[in-house]
């Protein structure tokens, strides 16, 4: 099956080199504030995020996963088994966490399965963003919540650079811009259009990383800078000119109570033929309908390529 190209972090020390040693404490703290504002809470106003089954798309090494602790079960999905192994080492093995290596363009889950999903710092690697978003729409229940972060083409820095002739691409046009191979910025209006066409309604928009400048991060403690960022995040309802934008969207339709499968295997479908009747063979999952076998290695379900 042909799918768009995938950005693969296999073998990467991204968590350590980019987040832990890359001077991004401010960004991490600011994103934590945004997520806390956007995650669903029990009974419309409870103090803690809540849900049955969360899908974390582009989970990486599990940087954000502890922030979803109010969910009963969390599926961490990434294309890189290296990243998932790091997440597993951090979070451990338990019934709460399910580790899945898969292509976002071919999600190996039954339709209408999840009540929530997040995609943070992941869409910017999507060469076909509408196709990736359509996959997310398929696996969410009616009334399901989707929290999406995207890299904003219309950020203030790109606008200024374009106006003074330092940048060739136009930040005001709707098409994505690939500034580095498989790294894309998106126009906020394009994101809203794609989500609307897929049957999402946008409930809230936050702008994040208002102060992503090296000099500010050197002069002002990350905790204070993130707190200031939190004060400005609600302005996303009016305009979006920051490098990062978060939205909370909901699948249109009434919330339905859907019984989840008793075992993990019942969550999956074959990404080749779509059959939901996979058989557990310990070291792999077997699809009786098309004969595809999918590896299970050290607690990671691998749906990237079928076994030979």
Please enumerate in sequence order all residues whose Cβ is within 8 A of that of 198, keeping only pairs 6 or more positions apart, or say none.
130, 133, 134, 137
| Cβ pair 163, 169 in contact under 8 A | no
For residue 4, being part of any structural domain is answered with: no
Interval 72-99: pLDDT, tens: 999 999 999 999 999 999 999 988 999 9
166 and 206 in a single domain? The answer is yes
Per DSSP, 20 falls in state I
| Same domain (yes/no): 142, 270 | no
Same domain, 212 and 293: no
- Give me the CATH number covering residue 121: 3.40.50.150
Residue 51 sits in the same domain as residue 68: yes
- Indicate if the pLDDT at residue 49 is higher than 70: no
Same domain (yes/no): 100, 239: yes
Q: Is the separation of the CB atoms in 118 and 147 below 8 Å? A: yes
Q: Which of 242, 260, 278 is the last residue of a domain?
A: 260
- At residue 41 the predicted structure's pLDDT band, cuts being 50, 70 and 90, is confident
- Measured at the CA of 62, the angle between CA 56 and CA 63, to 5 degrees, comes to 105
Q: Cα 38 to chain center, whole Å?
A: 13
Q: Which domain, by its residues, includes 85?
A: 14-260
Residue 269 forms part of a structural domain: yes
Entry pTM: 0.95
Looking at the fold, whether 247 and 271 belong to one and the same domain comes out as no
Q: Are residues 247 and 135 in the same domain?
A: yes
Q: Look up residue 247 and give its two tokens.
A: 């939205």
Q: What is the mean pLDDT of the chain?
A: 94
CB atoms within 10 A of CB 95: 8
């Amino acid at each position: 099956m042909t799918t768009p190209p995938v950005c693969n972090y296999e073998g990467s020390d991204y968590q350590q080199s980019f987040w832990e040693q890359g001077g991004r404490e401010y960004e991490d703290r600011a994103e934590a504030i945004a997520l806390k504002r956007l995650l669903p809470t029990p009974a419309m106003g409870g103090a803690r995020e809540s849900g049955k089954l969360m899908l974390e798309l582009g989970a990486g090494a599990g940087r954000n996963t502890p922030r979803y602790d109010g969910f009963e079960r969390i599926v961490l999905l990434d294309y890189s088994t290296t990243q998932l192994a790091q997440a597993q080492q951090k979070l451990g093995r338990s019934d709460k966490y399910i580790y899945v290596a898969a292509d976002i363009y071919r999600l190996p889950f039954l339709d209408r399965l999840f009540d929530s999903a997040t995609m943070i710092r992941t869409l910017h690697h999507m060469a076909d963003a509408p196709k990736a978003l359509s996959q997310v729409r398929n696996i969410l229940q009616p009334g399901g919540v989707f929290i999406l972060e995207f890299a904003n083409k219309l950020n203030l820095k790109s606008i200024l650079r374009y106006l003074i002739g330092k940048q060739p691409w136009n930040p005001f046009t709707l098409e994505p811009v690939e500034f580095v191979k498989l790294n894309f910025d998106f126009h906020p209006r394009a994101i809203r259009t794609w989500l609307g066409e897929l049957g999402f309604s946008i409930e809230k928009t936050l702008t994040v990383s208002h102060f992503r400048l090296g000099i500010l991060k050197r002069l002002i403690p990350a905790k204070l800078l993130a707190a200031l960022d939190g004060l400005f995040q609600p302005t996303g309802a009016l305009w979006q000119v920051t490098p990062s934008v978060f939205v909370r969207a909901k699948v249109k339709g009434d919330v339905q109570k859907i019984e989840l499968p008793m075992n993990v295997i019942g969550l999956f479908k074959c990404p080749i033929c779509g059959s939901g009747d996979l058989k557990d063979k310990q070291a792999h999952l077997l699809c009786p309908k098309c004969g595809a076998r999918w590896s299970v290695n050290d607690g990671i379900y691998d749906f990237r390529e079928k076994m030979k």
